[in-house]
Amino acid sequence: MRSDARRNQARILAAAREVFAAQGIEAPLAEVARQAGVGIATLFRRFPTREALIAAVFGARMTAYADAVDVALADPDPWRAFCGYIETICAMQAEDRGFTDVLTMTFPGAEALECDRTRAYDGLVTLIRRAQEAGRLRADFVPEDLVLVLMANAGVVTATGDAAPDAWRRVVAYLLQSFRADGAEPLPAPPSPRGIYRAMLRAKRRC
The site for a copy of itself (CB under 8 A) is made up of: 104, 145, 148-149, 151-156, 158-161, 163-164, 166-167, 169-171, 173-175, 177-180, 182-185, 187-192, 195-196, 198-199, 201-202, 204-207
In the complex, what is the shortest distance from the CB of residue 75 to a copy of itself, in angstroms, rounded to a whole number?
A: 19
What is the CB-side half-sphere exposure of residue 191 using CA atoms within 13 A? 15
In the complex, what is the shortest distance from the CB of residue 185 to a copy of itself, in angstroms, rounded to a whole number?
A: 6
Q: Based on CB atoms, which residue is closest to a copy of itself, 21 or 43?
A: 21
Residue 58 burial (10 A CB sphere; 0-12, 13-18, 19+): buried
In the complex, what is the shortest distance from the CB of residue 94 to a copy of itself, in angstroms, rounded to a whole number?
A: 12
Phi, psi (rounded to 5 degrees) for 137:
-95, 135
Q: Which stretches of the chain are DSSP H helices?
A: 3-23, 29-36, 40-46, 50-73, 78-95, 97-104, 111-133, 143-160, 167-178, 193-201
Q: Based on CB atoms, which residue is closest to a copy of itself, 88 or 158?
A: 158
Q: Based on CB atoms, which residue is closest to a copy of itself, 14 or 184?
A: 184
Q: Based on CB atoms, which residue is closest to a copy of itself, 49 or 178?
A: 178
